[in-house]
Amino acid sequence: MNPTIKPKQTFSEFLSQRLTTKERSQIVFLTFGLIAILALAFMVKAEFGALIAIVVGLVLLVTYFYIRGLWLKSLNR
């Protein structure tokens, strides 16, 4: 008799599940922070473009690894 293997949760299923209020607020904060940085990038002169690109890249990396960490944590629950 083989035990039933539960399929692992996909990333889209993780995003559609209920997150805690703290996790949801942190994702919203990171998203609005990214939008604010992108809006700032369009308002400043071109000489700041490289700096803004570096900051946007760092914010994207932090957001990605934060959400990925939450997802991996949910797989271990």
Q: What is the pLDDT of residue 1?
A: 44
pLDDT digits (tens, 9 = 90+) for 26-47: 777 877 877 787 777 777 766 6
Q: What is the pLDDT of residue 3?
A: 45
What is the spatial distance between Cα 59 and Cα 57, in angstroms, rounded to a whole number?
A: 5
For residue 29, how many other CB atoms are within 10 A of its CB?
11
Q: How many CA atoms lie within 13 A of 13 on its CB side?
A: 7
DSSP secondary structure string for all residues of 6-70 = PPPPPHHHHHHSPPPHHHHHHHHHHHHHHHHHHHHHHHS-GGGHHHHHHHHHHHHHHHHHHHHHH
Average pLDDT over every residue of 51-58? 77
Q: What is the pLDDT of residue 47?
A: 64
pTM: 0.43
Amino acid at 6: K
Q: Is residue 5's pLDDT more than 50?
A: no
